[in-house]
Amino acid sequence: MSYSQIIVLGSIFFVLFSAFALWTATKVIGIWYNPREDYFNTKKKVIILALSVDSLQEQIRQKDLFISHIKSIIETGEVKETYPEIEQVKKGESKVKKNRLLNLDYLSEVDSIIRKEFEGR
């Protein structure tokens, strides 16, 4: 190898190493100091927790219904058909959500409403 080849190879190595170091530094600094990255990670965690809470609420509702059935069997010996304490809509829930629990065609109704709104715009 001649001196010129060593200088060229050294220069190429230096440029590639510098480019790699710059790229790595910007990625690391971007992850550490970028507020948007932190915001998106936090938002993702909040969505996961909200879904967990929703599924836990559904499980509680089912267990309350089961306990009501057991109480009814113990008290009267038969299962009541309606349970007002379970079927009541909680404060803040809309009438649409109550109908959704009772009506199996809810999905098609909502779909048609959304289609009408979309086509109207």
The arithmetic mean of pLDDT across residues 3-8, rounded, is 93
Q: What is the pLDDT of residue 90?
A: 47
Do 15 and 5 share a structural domain? Answer: yes
Q: What is the pLDDT of residue 37?
A: 75
Do 27 and 5 share a structural domain? Answer: yes
In this model, does residue 16 exceed pLDDT 90? yes
Q: What is the pLDDT of residue 110?
A: 66
Domains held by the chain: number = 3
Q: What is the pLDDT of residue 80?
A: 66
| Domain containing residue 45 | 35-83
Do 107 and 117 share a structural domain? Answer: yes
Do 79 and 94 share a structural domain? Answer: no
Do 111 and 95 share a structural domain? Answer: yes
- Residues in Cβ contact with 85 at an 8 Å cutoff, skipping those fewer than 6 apart: 64, 68
Report the predicted TM-score, pTM, of the whole model to 2 decimal places: 0.39
Residue with tokens 């948007």: 36
Q: What is the pLDDT of residue 121?
A: 58
Tens digit of pLDDT for each residue in 32-69?
Answer: 777 787 788 889 999 999 989 999 999 999 999 889 88
Q: Count of CB atoms within 10 A of residue 80's CB?
A: 13
Q: What is the pLDDT of residue 41?
A: 83
Do 77 and 47 share a structural domain? Answer: yes
